[in-house]
Amino acid sequence: MKRELHIERDETLTDWTYEHAGDQKKQHIALGFPDTPDGCRRAGAWAMQLAQKYKATHVTLTLTKHHSRALAEGVQLGSYIFDIYKEHERTVDEIHFTQGEEKELDLGMLFGEATNYARDLINTPANDMNSKALIAAAKNIPGVKVTVRDKAWLKKRGMGGILAVNQGSANKPALIELSYGPKKDHVALVGKGVTYDSGGINIKLEALEYMKADMGGAAAVLAVMRAAAQLKLKTGLRGYIPVVENMLGASAQRTGDIITSYAGKTVEIMNTDAEGRVILADALTYAQEFKPKEIIDFATLTGACIVALGHEAAGAYGDNELCLDLMDAGEKTGDLCWQLPLLEEFDRHMDSPIADVSNAGKNKLIGGSIQAAAFLQRFINPGQRWAHLDIAGTAFRKTKPLVQPHYQSQGANGGGVRCVLEYLRSQE
């Protein structure tokens, strides 16, 4: 049965209140909310959550003449439901905007859809979202060239980090390369693709059911590449996704092992649960062979970043100007990041007495996210523009946001996607 719902803003209502009236066929909701970019983003999400609550099929939105893009982003993000494994729960078939700038609305819907694409990848459990599935997802992106480097290629090239992390898994490792647009002055995007992280020998003591989300960086790279092709961006992009599964098989790496990375640096494995930085080291080294203008890497790298910034912002490290530009892009899209300092003291934590570098710092309770970024910086060539986004908190959250209504939700939230897309658009 067709159920129509008209939702409009009522300036006489107190912010974040609503009034509902109507019958099963035709309903009306009036919302009170602040007419700011983030207010409109939250209101768009709220409108769709209410539409779902009242089982509407056709929704007409008369909410604001301003902040069209933010509103549309919120509408897309608020419409998200991960129901692949259960009976279909969605009711809304059509959404109409009666106010707003059409181009901005379209852009907001695309940014929101790109984020939701990443959310689907992240939310899919590891028995289905393994290395084969992640490769298949990459190959299904229109307008993007994909090359898959297999285990034999990784061995031949000496990518010891990727191979070591995956050696306890029955699933095969890979390095996915993606290419869009011109090679000259391209931006390299590197995404951590750990399809499941048990912690290895240093097995995690809790929250193992959420470790399907450790490929949030890979999902962000795929989403950005996909949206870039849809937007027909002029900037060339190259994507690099090291794909592994960190398990406890008979051949799994041990604490105390020393491996040789693709850069030729030896790495002492002090903690097998500090695996993301090890595979990123190989991918970052490889990406630099093609002389990118700049590199942005995405990784659900540390729980310490969640301690520092919660689920509200990603940690940003590296080139100061690039980090500031990413922070600005995050403010415009609600996909926030915050720059943290890469001080020399944290780099010293990564020294090893018997190898070139340790994969875990001397004191895990001190600046854990910064220590991880310091490890990555050891593999960045002098003069290379680079930013690292630790999206551990923004890619996935175990609980609902305390502030309601919100465009984030429990589960995957696709951190980094809208921020980096906006940054790439701003460079054209």
Mean pLDDT in consecutive groups of 10 residues from the start of the chain, 428 residues:
94 96 94 97 98 95 96 98 86 94 98 98 98 98 98 98 98 98 97 98 95 98 98 98 97 98 98 98 98 98 97 98 98 98 95 98 92 98 98 97 96 98 95
Concerning whether 55 is annotated as a catalytic residue, the answer is no
pLDDT of residue 321: 98
Residue 5 · residue 63 · CB < 8 Å? no
Q: According to the model, what pLDDT value does residue 98 have? A: 97
Q: Does domain 125-426 have CATH number 3.30.360.10?
A: no
Q: What pLDDT sits at residue 87?
A: 82
Q: Where are the alpha helices (DSSP H) in 252-335?
A: 276-288, 303-309, 320-333
Which residues have CB under 8 Å from 173's CB, separation 6+? 131, 151, 154, 162, 163, 165, 166, 242, 243, 244
Of 221, 218, 181, the residue nearest 197 (C-alpha): 218
Per annotation, catalytic residue among 204, 265, 364, 385: 204
pLDDT of res. 112: 98
Catalytic status, residue 277: yes
Tell me what pLDDT residue 365 has.
Answer: 84
In the three-class reduction of DSSP (H, G, I as helix; E, B as strand; rest coil), residue 407 is classed as coil
Q: Out of 277, 397, 418, 425, which one is annotated catalytic? A: 277
Q: How many C-alpha atoms does 55 have within 13 Å on its Cβ side?
A: 7
23: exposed, middle or buried (Cβ count in 10 Å: 0-12, 13-18, 19+)? exposed
Give the CATH number of domain 4-100; options: 3.50.50.60, 3.40.50.360, 3.90.1260.10, 3.40.220.10: 3.40.220.10
Q: Are the CB atoms for 338 and 314 separated by under 8 Å?
A: yes
Inter-helix orientation angle 368-377/276-288, to 10°: 30
How much is the pLDDT for 428? 86
Q: Residue 355's CB: how many other CB atoms inside 10 A?
A: 18
* Res 261: pLDDT: 98
Residues of the chain with CATH 3.40.630.10: 125-426
pTM for the predicted model, two decimal places: 0.97
Determine the pLDDT at residue 90. Answer: 80
List where CATH 3.40.220.10 sits in the chain: 4-100
Query: Tokens in use for 143?
Result: 């307008």
| Beta partners for residue 26, in sequence order | 4
Strands 187-191 and 294-299: what pairing? Answer: parallel
Give the pLDDT of residue 191. Answer: 98
